[in-house]
Amino acid sequence: MAGGSVSECKEYLFKVLVIGELGVGKTSIIKRYVHQLFSQHYRATIGVDFALKVLNWDSKTLVRLQLWDIAGQERFGNMTRVYYKEAVGAFVVFDVTRGATFEAVSKWKHDLDSKVKLANGNPIPAVLLANKCDQKKETSNNATLMNNFCKEAGFLGWFETSAKDNINVDEAARFLVENILANDKGLPYEESNGDRIKLDQETVTAESKSGCC
Amino acid sequence: MAAEDLPSEFDVVILGTGLAESVVAAACSRVGQRVLHLDRRSYYAANWASFTFNGLLTWIQEQNESQTEEVRDWSSLLEEGEELLHLSDTDSASITNLQVFCYTNEEDEEEEAESADPLNTTEEEKPEEFSHDVFIRSDFQTVTFLNQSQAAQTPGEEPEAARPHPSAAQSQSEPTRKKLSYAQLVKEGRRFNIDLVSKLLFSRGSLVDLLIKSNVSRYAEFKNVTRILTYRHGNMEQVPCSRADVFASRQLLVVEKRKLMRFLNSCMEETEEQQAYNGRPYLDFLRDQQLGDNLQHFLLHSIAMVTEDTPTEEGLASTRHFLRCLGRYGNTPFLFPVYGLGEIPQCFCRMCAVFGGTYCLRHSVHCLIVDRDTNRCRAVIDSRGQRISCSHFVVEDGCVGSDRKKMATRAVLITDASVLPGESDQQVSMVTVPPAAAGGPTVKMVELCSSTMTCVPGTYLVHLTCQSTGSAHQDLSPVVTMMFRTTESEEPGNEHGRPFVLWCFYFNMADGSAVEVEGHQLPCNVYVCSGPDGSLGHEHAVKQAEFIFHKILPDEDFCPPAPNPEDIIYDGDEGAAGQEENQGEQEIYLQNHTEHNAEEEEMTPKTTKEKDKNQSRPQTHRNTRSMQH
Ligand SMILES: Cc1cc2nc3c(=O)[nH]c(=O)nc-3n(C[C@H](O)[C@H](O)[C@H](O)COP(=O)(O)OP(=O)(O)OC[C@H]3O[C@@H](n4cnc5c(N)ncnc54)[C@H](O)[C@@H]3O)c2cc1C
Ligand SMILES: Nc1nc2c(ncn2[C@@H]2O[C@H](COP(=O)(O)OP(=O)(O)O)[C@@H](O)[C@H]2O)c(=O)[nH]1
Ligand SMILES: [Mg+2]
């Protein structure tokens, strides 16, 4: 892979976590972003680990974004390490119509930072999503407050989103991916982990090469 | 994250997140059972867990704290015809004889390490000075801190016999290899993943098959064990096991190479000659093959991994298993999970959660509510005093006070070099150390390098395991002294080149191999999962989980493949933006899944050589690595 000729397209795989309290719209945001769907009916997330969104970032870059929903462990915040492992970005979501879900944002961010770090030891880039903005009552702009909060809590930025009306979901994702790409310039992953084995993609070469006597 | 009440009804309640429990959880949830999975600990995987260095220090301290159990009266939660069965809330007997030794300097020698870490703040000694304090704990566990004492001292401990201090001069005459200080270990602590158990996955073993079959494999990555070593006549030797190894071997004579090739080829088929040795020791069989001492040693200890009195049929079966596992993923039969074995139970927990399982750590079950007439467990009372009904209850063995007489001995070392330095410093080695004296335990040793993500670059993590005959320290410190160097080592002139032990700990852990799933005077719908067993592979836990699953759900498929998230295609009708409904989703989903499988069967080419493999491979060969070109 090193260098790669100019004509070649670079392909990235990024694992992004979507966390926040129950019912804030995590699953809805993922569905909106990946499948262009929205459903009013509440349905727990069953059987789906993550959704994949393929982005033609630019003429030379393809980004495969894995958005990881938090499944049945969300309620008590006891995610396994498997969930956090090798994530390179995160959305923390709250519901603008329920203050308590905003209160919980710091807790989620703190939990995130204690469980996963970038290879260089820095926290992974995180973006705050103020979801269900279609239902926001007062129009008073508390942008300054939110900016300050983001600075303090270590968020790259925040977006008012609506999974229902498709507001700012793409924008927020684009913003996060830009930051991930900036972090990922060195791209050490494939190089240092090239000899890792995934059990569903067997190395046929090894099979024919050695084999028992 | 909010603490709220749990639903009051589940199909299966599982207490303990060890491997067998987690597999049962995933299997049940996968086929639609409502699963509640609890652990009284603050971490996943019970005695199968792995910890960061700092996490491990905390765990060690917790082992020394005696937990007190408050007994409360729950009879108000009982209904007609029910009685209470109390569970033991502590599992103090599963870990014993815990001892910690630190041989490296407290702080970095050159730069004054700023002591940001609270563990180091009380240190006032000069780095060159060693302090050896042995604390005898009230519960007979001893913790020895050489070099690092005050940190772990808590009120009530009485420093006992202090050992003689090695002179400062001695420590300075040490080789120039720069050692990581204790402060650095703590600072880099999060990059360690130190397993409580030491096992490997046989590349054609039942755990690998299960991971593939269920698609749980998507959550884990593995490293090959790159070489098999054995300790003989005071030397570390590489065991040739593949054809390439045999040819490349420099220690084998040409005649030995021929003999070994002939033997390995011929032993795959059962012959009359072999049958004549049934019931007699494998060693006798090997002797009569005129293989010579070298090959006999390799075959008995490193390939069959059996003892001198193992019967021939068993020895041959192990040899064949080893050979069959070669070459599936690499040159040895073994795989090790990146980030440590503690990942594996968590992978199954994730699968359970993805299919709707509910998870709570720091949450236990105090007692069972048993129907007097049917002797069935109807409900449990959790540690918050909530009554939760269930049709089945699965529990780790520690909570039912099953008597576990068998113990395994463990030691974990952080060292500064490999036991056999080679061209690459990124080797994963499986080492067999035959008993020093006849009848003694064989020690299995796994040396992990930093690319397994279990230790920091420049260090190695060494796991030693054997059957216990005494305390862990009694069993294993002779082996450690033989192969490694510490500040306590005598004859400093002799031992250059041997890896230096920066830090290590010893303990005994209950061996779960004899624990029965049923019985224990428990209701008939309560099943007991044993803790880790002493063997190298994972067959015990996987078999046990499958057995329990079929007890609970006799007619269901055990861990059918979970659909690949990338293959979930939403129906065209729903594809339109703004669509308000998608009720058909779950069905479409399952449909896709079956289609996917049918397609898969056609797509996977079957070679005669790889018959068994294809049966257990539901996945297309989709490459999901980053940066494919
Ligand atoms: C499975 C698990 C077990 C735990 N057990 C204990 C325990 O026994 N005692 C205790 O005090 N706390 C435990 N914790 C809590 C957690 O370790 C705390 O956050 C810890 O105190 C923080 O330590 P740290 O900053 O050194 O580790 P962190 O850097 O927060 O790492 C936590 C874990 O995540 C892994 N990890 C970190 N970054 C990455 C990455 N980029 N990719 C993949 N994996 C990564 C690490 O290897 C480590 O195992 C556990 C957490 C988990 C997830
Ligand atoms: N009005 C409105 N409702 C939303 C929005 N996003 C999600 N919801 C609703 O909020 C509820 C919970 O959403 P869900 O995605 O399941 O939340 P999760 O628990 O965080 O995954 C559902 O009923 C959604 O229809 C939004 O942007 N606007
Ligand atoms: Mg959801």
Instruction: Tell me the C-alpha distance between B407 and B410, whole Å.
Output: 10
Please indicate, yes or no, if residue B581 is contained in any of the structural domains.
no
* Closest listed residue to residue A52, CA positions, set B589, B421, B448, B566: B566
Output the pLDDT for position B566: 66
For chain A, say whether B217 makes contact (Cβ under 8 Å): yes
B213 in a structural domain:
no
Residues B220-233: pLDDT tens digits? 999 999 999 999 88
**Nearest chain A Cα distance for residue B255, angstroms:** 16
Contact residues of ligand 1, CB 6 A cut-off? A 81, 85-86, 114-117; B 42-44, 51-52, 54-55, 58-59, 189-190, 193, 339
Quick one: tokens of B193?
A: 């993943």
Residue B455 resides in a domain: no
Q: Which residue has the higher pLDDT, B332 or A44?
A: B332
Cα A25 to ligand 3 centroid, rounded to whole Å: 7
pLDDT of residue B597 exceeding 70: no
| Residues B511, B516, B522: CA angle, nearest 5 degrees | 125
Assigned domain for B233 exists: no
Q: Kindly state the average pLDDT of the residues B34-48.
A: 94
Per-residue DSSP letters for B395-426? EEGGGGT-----EEEEEEEEESS-SS--S-S-
Which residues does B437 contact at the CB level (< 8 Å), separation at least 6?
A: none
Q: Do A35 and B328 touch (CB under 8 A)?
A: no
Domains of chain A listed by start with CATH number: 10-185 (3.40.50.300)
- Short-list B484, B501, B487, CA closest to B128: B487
Task: Give whichever of B15-24, B393-402, B479-488 has the largest mean pLDDT.
Answer: B15-24
Domain that holds residue B40: 9-49+341-404+514-552
**In sequence order, what DSSP letters do the residues of A121-181 get, joined into one string?**
SPBPPEEEEEE-GGG-------HHHHHHHHHHHT-SEEEE-BTTTTBSHHHHHHHHHHHHH
Compare CB distances from B358 to A51, A72, A117 and report the shortest one's residue.
A72
Among all ligands shown, which has an atom nearest to the Cα of B192? Answer: 1
Q: Which two tokens stand for residue A140?
A: 């008073």
A208: nearest CA in chain B? B327
CB contact B613 to A (< 8 Å): yes
**Cα–Cα nearest to B498, from B484, B478, B479:** B484
**What distance in Å separates the CA atoms of residue B466 and residue B464, rounded to the nearest whole number?**
7
Reported as a pLDDT band with limits 50, 70 and 90, residue B402 is: low
Question: CB contact, 8 Å: B58 with chain A?
Answer: no
Provide the token pair at B67.
């937990």
Q: What is the DSSP letter of B82?
A: E
pLDDT band at B41 (very low <50, low <70, confident <90, very high): very high
Cβ–Cβ contacts within 10 Å for residue B77, how many?
15
Residue of the nearest CA to atom 18 in ligand 1? A114
Buried b (16+ CB within 10 A) or exposed e, B278-311: eeebbbebbeebebbebbbbbbbbbbbbbbbebb
Residue B175, burial from CB neighbour count under 10 angstroms (0-12, 13-18, 19+): middle
Strands lying side by side in the sheet with B222-224: B201-202, B334-337, B222-224
pLDDT at B30: 95
List all residues whose CB is within 6 A of at least one atom of ligand 2. A 22-28, 40, 42, 45, 131-132, 134-135, 162-164
CA B7 to chain centre: 32
**Cβ atoms of residues A163 and A28 within 8 Å:** yes
ipTM for the predicted complex:
0.83
Contact A126, A92 (CB under 8 A): yes
Residue B582: per-residue pLDDT: 36
- Please measure the distance between the N-terminal and C-terminal CA atoms of chain A and give it in whole angstroms: 34
- Range in B70-74, B130-134, B260-264, B556-560 with the lowest mean pLDDT: B130-134
Helices B19-30 and B206-214 pack at an angle, to 10 degrees, of 30
Percent of chain B topping pLDDT 90? 55
In sequence order, what E strands does chain A have?
10-20, 50-58, 61-68, 89-95, 126-131, 157-160
- B343: three-class secondary structure by DSSP: helix
CB contact under 8 A, B589 and A47: yes
CB contact under 8 A, A49 and B218: yes
Nearest CA in chain B to A206: B330
Confidence of residue B64 (pLDDT cuts 50, 70, 90): confident
Residues 537-576 of B with CB under 8 A from A: 562-563, 565-566, 568, 570, 574-576
Q: A104: which chain B residues are within 8 Å (Cβ-Cβ)?
A: 1-2
Domain-embedded: residue B527: yes
Distance, in Å, from the CA atom of B144 to the CA atom of B135, rounded to the nearest integer, reads 6
Whole-Å CA distances, A19 to A55, A70, A86 = 22, 7, 15
Segment B521-533 shows an average pLDDT of 93
Strands B194-195 and B50-51: antiparallel
Provide the pLDDT for residue B587.
26
What pLDDT, on the 0 to 100 scale, is given for residue B89? Answer: 66
Give the pLDDT score at B390.
97
Mutate to test the pocket of ligand 1, among A70, A86, A115 (most ligand atoms within 8 A of CB): A115
What residues in A contact B578, CB-CB < 8 Å? Answer: 38, 166
pLDDT at B67: 64
Residue whose structure tokens are 């924008």: A171
Predicted confidence (pLDDT) at residue B570 exceeds the cutoff of 60: no
Q: Are B459 and B103 in contact (CB under 8 A)?
A: no
Most confidently predicted of B164-178, B236-250, B469-483, B560-574? B469-483
Tell me which amino acid residue B20 is. A
Rg (CA), chain B: 27
More confident position, B582 or A79: A79
Q: What is the mean pLDDT of residues B154-180?
A: 44
Chain A partners within 8 Å of B329 (Cβ) = 197, 202-203, 206
Q: Is the pLDDT of residue B120 over 60?
A: no
Domain count along chain B: 1
Statement: residue B133 has pLDDT above 70: no
**Amino acid letter, B463:** H
Distance from CA of residue B170 to its chain's centroid?
Answer: 38
Mutational test site, ligand 2, from A22, A28, A105, A165, max ligand atoms within 8 Å of CB: A28
Backbone angles phi, psi at B540, to 5 degrees: -60, -50
Q: What are phi and psi of B614, to 5 degrees?
A: -65, -30
Give the CA angle between residues A160, A161, A162 to the nearest 5°.
Answer: 140
Q: Could A210 and B211 be called an inter-chain contact, meaning their C-beta atoms sit closer than 8 Å?
A: no
Q: What's residue B137's pLDDT?
A: 31
Give pLDDT tens digits for B449-466: 999 999 999 999 999 999
Q: Is residue B522 part of a domain?
A: yes
Token digits of residue B316: 């041959």
Ligand 3: centre distance to CA A74 (Å) = 8
Cα separation, B81 vs B499, in Å, equals 64
Paired tokens of B565: 């998230």
Q: Measured in angstroms, how far is the CA atom of residue A87 from the centroid of ligand 2?
A: 24
Residue B424 contacts A where some CB pair is shorter than 8 Å: no
Which pLDDT score, from 0 to 100, does residue A50 have?
A: 85
Flag whether pLDDT at B591 surpasses 70. Answer: no
> Is residue B565 situated within a structural domain?
no
- Ligand 1 atom with the smallest distance to the CA of B54 is 26
Residues of B in contact with A66 (CB under 8 A): 565
Write out pLDDT tens, residues B405-428.
Answer: 789 999 999 999 999 998 899 999
How do beta strands B235-238 and B227-232 pair? antiparallel
The enclosing H or E element of B434 equals none
| Residue A55 with chain B: CB contacts under 8 Å | none
User: Is the pLDDT reported for residue B564 higher than 90?
Assistant: no
Calpha distance B73→B201 (Å, rounded): 45
* In a domain? residue B33: yes
Contact flag B629-A211 (C-beta cutoff 8 Å): no
- What integer pLDDT is reported at residue B29 of this predicted model? 96
Nearest-Cα distance to chain A for B344, in Å, is: 9
Q: How confident is the model at residue B37 (pLDDT cuts 50, 70, 90)?
A: very high
The CATH number of residue B535's host domain is 3.50.50.60
**Helices assigned H by DSSP within B31-181:** 53-64, 149-152, 168-172
pLDDT score of B401: 67
Task: Please list the ranges in chain A whose pLDDT falls under 70.
Answer: 1-7, 41-46, 72-75, 77, 138-141, 185-194, 201-213
Q: What is the mean pLDDT of chain B?
A: 79
B4 touches chain A (CB under 8 A): yes
Among residues 27-56 of chain B, which lie with CB inside 8 Å of chain A? 44
**Residue A122: Cβ-neighbour burial (10 angstroms; 0-12, 13-18, 19+):** exposed
What is the A28 CA–ligand 2 centroid distance (Å)?
5
